[in-house]
Amino acid sequence: MTDKELLAAAAQAREKSWCRYSHFAVGAALLTEDGTLYSGCNIENAAYPLCTCAERTAIVKAVSEGHRRISAIAIVGGAEGTAATEVCPPCGSCRQLLAEFADGALRVILTDGSYTLDDLLPHRFSL
């Protein structure tokens, strides 16, 4: 699957975003090491701390289905109801969550190009 196709899968997932508080819609699509695709959107809640990032949704779907190694993830985000043209880098929590299930070579594909986990979360915590 090309980066463009993975971004398109993220954009499709973004259409399901539940973001009635921030009105910022995010979609993510990841590939596991064996090439399986999982996608997800952000899901907000009236109790704000319960809001879930799109990346987290996709990661939880993959891991709960037995896929523990992620090789690439594409992320798109932007104001609800608009095309996701702005660059939407993953938040710090999602970077750490990705680190649990990927190595430093993980490809993080954004609308302005691709990065690695080593680029985005150097000197990260692990056990």
Residues that bind ligand THU (CB under 6 A): 19, 22, 24, 26, 42, 44, 51, 53-55, 90-91, 94
Give min distance, CB of 32 to ligand THU, in A. 19
Instruction: Decide if 55 is catalytic.
Output: yes
CA distance 36 to 124: 26
The closest alpha carbon to 119, from 106, 127, 111, 110, belongs to: 106
Which residue lies nearer to ligand THU by CB, 36 or 93? 93
Residues whose CB is less than 8 angstroms from the CB of residue 99 and which lie 6 or more positions away in sequence, other chains included: 117, 121, 124, 125, 126
Give min distance, CB of 112 to ligand THU, in A. 15
Torsion angle of the four alpha carbons 15, 17, 21, 24, in this order, in degrees rounded to the nearest 10? -60
Tell me if residue 59 falls in helix, strand or coil: helix
Which residue lies nearer to ligand THU by CB, 31 or 54? 54
Which residue lies nearer to ligand THU by CB, 35 or 49? 49
Give min distance, CB of 25 to ligand THU, in A. 8
Catalytic residue among 55, 65, 80, 100: 55
For residue 93, the tally of other CB atoms under 10 A from its CB is 11
Residues annotated as catalytic (active site), given as ranges: 55
